[in-house]
Amino acid sequence: MAIKVTEDYVRFDAGDTSLILACAIGERPRIVYLGGRLFASHPAEIDLIHTRQHAHGSADVEIAPSILNELGAGVVAKAGFLVHRNGDEWYSFFSVTAIECLSEEEVVITCLDHHTNIEVKHTISMMVDNEVITFQTSVQNVGRSMLNLQSCMAACVPIGPQFDQTIGFSGRWAGEFKLQHIPKFIGSYVRENKKGRTSHDAFPAIILGTAEADENSGQALGFHLGWSGNSHIEVERLSDGRAFVHMGEYLFPGEVLLGAEEIYQTPILYVGYSGDGFNGLSHKFHNALKSKVLDDRKQNKPRPIHYNTWEAVYFDHSPQKLMELAQRAADVGAERFVLDDGWFGGRRNDQTGLGDWWIAAEVYPEGLKPLIDHVNALGMEFGIWFEPEMVNPDSELYRKHPDWILSAGDLEQVPFRNQYALDLTRSDVCDYLFGCIDDLLSHHNISYIKWDMNRDVHHPGHAAGRAVTSKQTKALYSLLERIRNAHPDIEIESCSSGGGRADYGILNHSDRIWTSDSNDALDRQHIQRGASYFFPLSIMGAHVGPEVCHITGRKLSMELRVATAFLGHMGMEMNLLDETPENLKILKLGISLHKQYRRLIHQGDFYRLDTPDFVNAVCVVSKDKEQALLSWCNMTGHSETLPPRIFFTGLKPDKLYRLRIIWPVGLQSITSPSIIDVMDLAGMGELVMGEALMKIGVQAPLLHPETCIIYHVQLDD
Ligand code: DGJ
C-alpha cells in the first residue's frame, strides 16, 4: 500500500521514494516533502523541521507555499494559478474540503475557495511498481459568473536545496533532445512552448540533481509534462533559498473561460526521484511509461523491423518500384513496410493534396491492394502515413471547407510547409477525418499508421476567434482513441517532422515515436541518448539511413548506421535498390542480430555511461542481469594515446560473464596485438567476473573515429 492517510497528512511511500502532503480539512493543501524514502519519520516531524522563521523585511508570519501557490495566500513564489472574474476575484485561496483514496496508489484532494467560488481537485498518485508520482489538477467554476482562467499548473512542486543542478532540454528540427546544463541561478529558468505541438526545442521536461549527481550516482528528480500542446516549464529559485518546479499548459489569453459548473483539467505532470543518479531516474520513467501509459498489448509483441519509404522515393511513388523495394526490404529482414507521404489525393509534392484522404488513382490505378497483398505475401505488415490534422490550401478539402481551419481574425496565416491546421474542436472535422481513416483501414489489411504533424500552429483560433490549443490537443487524443477503439489492433506512430511530438500524453494514444528526421548516425547517437532520459528504446524509432545522409550530407559506414539503429525500435529508410551487395549483406546481418537480441534491448534496463566527450556509450542489461549489450561509439578521435577503459554497469558482481564483441562482425583494432586479439573478443571471447567488468573496466580498443562497437556479456553457467 503506497498511501497512508492520517488526520492532517497523506503519505506515499514506495521503493526509495516518499511524498508527504499536508491536507488537514480547512487548511491549505501543501507538498511537505518529495524525495528519498523516509522510513521512521512521522509527517508532522518532517513538517516541523521545515519551519522557517520571520526575516526582517518580510511578512510577520511565514507563508507556506501550497500546491498551486495561489495569489490570495500571499506566497512570494510564482503563482501557479491565475484567474479573474471580469477583472475581479483574482485572490484565490484554497482550503481542503475532502480527501478520497481512489485506489492504493491514488488520492484526490478536493479544495474550495469560498471567497471566489472555485473548486479544485488535485489527483495525486504514486505508482507502486516504479515510484513515479503524478499530479493532475482540475478546476471547476462553482460560481455563477464567467471565470477567466489565465493559467493553472498541474502542480508547483517544492524542491530541496540540495537539488542545485538544473538540466533542461533544447533542440531543433533534426536535432532533438539536446541537454542544456543551466549554471546556478537565482530567479527563473523558463521554457514557454506555444507552437501547438510538443515541439523540437522545448521538450517538456526538467532534470534536477545534487551537485555531484551523474548517470550512476547522486540524487536526482525528473519532471515531465505528458502533453502534446503548449506548455510552461519553470524552475524558480528564490533568493530566500526555496525552489519550485512549475509545470502546466501555456494558455493563450481567453483560452479557458469557464461558465457555471464548467471544468478545466490540466495535463498530467510525472515526477520521479532517484538516489542512483540519472540512470535510476530513467529506469523509473521507462517502467512507468511501459506499465501505465502505453498499450501493453502492443508493447509485449516483438517490435517489428520497419522499412519506411520516405527517403527512398519521397513523393515519386510507383507501385512497381515500391514492390521492388518491398522485396529488397523483406530480403534483408524487414517485418513491416510503411508507405509514407504521397499515396493520396493530388499529393505529388508538399504543396497539394493534404486533406484529400483517398487513394490517388493516377498513381495507384488498381488501388493499394496489389501493393499491400505483395507486402503481406512477403511476410510483412503494411503501414501507412497520414497527416490528418492538416490541409493544403490546394486541396479539394480546403476548396470545399475553407472555414475548417484554425485562424485568427483576418490575419494572414504564417506560412509553414504550405499547409494550415484543421480545427479539431469541430465535430464535423473529426467525423470527416475518422471517416476517411476508418474507411481505408476497414477495406485494407493495414495494421500501422504513421501519424504525422508538420507545422507549428501560430493562430489557434476557433472560427477565427477564441484560442483552442488546449481543446485541440484533447480533441486529437479523442480522435486517436476513436480510431483505436474502432481498430483495436492498429499500432500508431507519433511523428511531427521527426521528434516534434514525443511525450507521455501522445504515447497514451500511440505506440512509437519517430525520434528525429535525421538519420545521420552520429547525430542520432546524441538524439537517442537525449531522448533516453524519458523514453525507453522500445518506442524510439531508429532507422538505418542512406550512406550519404540526406539532411547532413555526411557519409557514414553501414556498420555505424546499423550499430546506431540497433539500440532502438530498429528500421530502415533508404533506397535499398541503390545499396551495394556488400552493404546489403552487412545490413541483413545487423538486422538478424537485432532480432536475436531485441527482447533484451526492448525489455532490459537501459544505462547511459559517463564517458569523455569523444565517445557515446550506452548499455542495456536484462532484468535478471544474465546478459547485457554495451554500445561504444567513437564519435571523433581521442586526445590521449589510447581510449579509456569501459566500465560496465548493472551486472552481478560475483558472477562470471562471457565478454564478446558482436558488432561489427570480424572487428579488428588499428594496431595488434590488441585487447580484441588477446581476449578473442571478436570470436569466443573471455570469461570475466562482473565486479571486474564494473570496477576495473575493459580497455577500449584503438579504433578509427566514427566507429561503433557492440559488446555482449552473457552470464556463464
Ligand atoms: C515529416 C516526417 O518526419 C518524415 O518522416 C516524413 O514522413 C515526412 N514528414 C513526409 O511528409
State the Cα–Cα distance between residues 690 and 605, nearest whole angstrom.
16
- Please identify, by atom number, the ligand 1 atom nearest to the C-alpha of residue 495: 3
Q: Which residue is associated with the grid cell 478520497?
A: 100
Q: 511, 517, 520, 605: which one is catalytic?
A: 517
User: Binning pLDDT at 50, 70 and 90, where does residue 297 land?
Assistant: confident
- Please identify, by atom number, the ligand 1 atom nearest to the C-alpha of residue 340: 7
If one residue of 200, 497, 518 were mutated to test the ligand 1 pocket, choosing by the most ligand atoms within 8 A of its CB, it would be 497
C-alpha cell at 179: 541537454
Question: Quick one: pLDDT at residue 701?
Answer: 96
612 pLDDT higher than 70 = yes
Question: Which residues are near ligand 1 (CB < 6 Å)?
Answer: 310, 340-341, 385, 452, 454, 495, 497-498, 514, 517
ω before 253 within 30° of 0 (cis)?
Answer: no
Question: Quick one: pLDDT at residue 1?
Answer: 57
Secondary structure (DSSP) of 512-541 = EEE--S---HHHHHHHHHHHTTTS-GGGEE
Main-chain dihedrals φ then ψ at residue 140, nearest 5 degrees? -120, 135
Q: Read off the pLDDT of residues 314-341 as tens digits, 9 standing for 90 and up.
A: 999 999 999 999 999 999 999 999 999 9
Average pLDDT of 613-628?
A: 97
Mean pLDDT of the chain: 97
Minimum CA distance residue for ligand 1 atom 9: 497
Average pLDDT of 421-444?
A: 98
State the Cα–Cα distance between residues 117 and 143, nearest whole angstrom.
5
Q: 452, 503, 520, 605: which one is catalytic?
A: 452
407 pLDDT higher than 70 = yes
Question: 599: phi > 0 → left, psi -120 to 50 → alpha, else beta; which?
Answer: alpha
663 pLDDT higher than 90 = yes
- Please identify, by atom number, the ligand 1 atom nearest to the C-alpha of residue 385: 7
User: Binning pLDDT at 50, 70 and 90, where does residue 621 land?
Assistant: very high
* 3 state DSSP class of 548: strand
Considering the entire predicted model, what is its pTM?
A: 0.98
298 pLDDT higher than 90 = no
Question: 61: phi > 0 → left, psi -120 to 50 → alpha, else beta; which?
Answer: beta
Q: Read off the pLDDT of residues 543-596 as tens digits, 9 standing for 90 and up.
A: 999 999 999 999 999 999 999 999 999 999 999 999 999 999 999 999 999 999
State the Cα–Cα distance between residues 215 and 277, nearest whole angstrom.
5
Q: Quick one: which H or E segment has residue 155?
A: strand 147-159
Average pLDDT of 427-454?
A: 98
Q: Read off the pLDDT of residues 458-512 as tens digits, 9 standing for 90 and up.
A: 999 999 999 999 999 999 999 999 999 999 999 999 999 999 999 999 999 999 9
Q: Is 610 a catalytic residue?
A: no
State the Cα–Cα distance between residues 137 and 131, nearest whole angstrom.
20
Q: Read off the pLDDT of residues 231-271 as tens digits, 9 standing for 90 and up.
A: 999 999 999 999 999 999 999 999 999 999 999 999 999 99
Q: Is 452 a catalytic residue?
A: yes
Q: Quick one: which H or E segment has residue 354?
A: none
Centre of ligand 1 from the C-alpha of residue 662, in Å: 33
User: Binning pLDDT at 50, 70 and 90, where does residue 40 land?
Assistant: confident
Q: Which residue is associated with the grid cell 579509456?
A: 644
If one residue of 347, 453, 495 were mutated to test the ligand 1 pocket, choosing by the most ligand atoms within 8 A of its CB, it would be 495
Average pLDDT of 427-452?
A: 98
Question: Quick one: pLDDT at residue 549?
Answer: 97
639 pLDDT higher than 90 = no
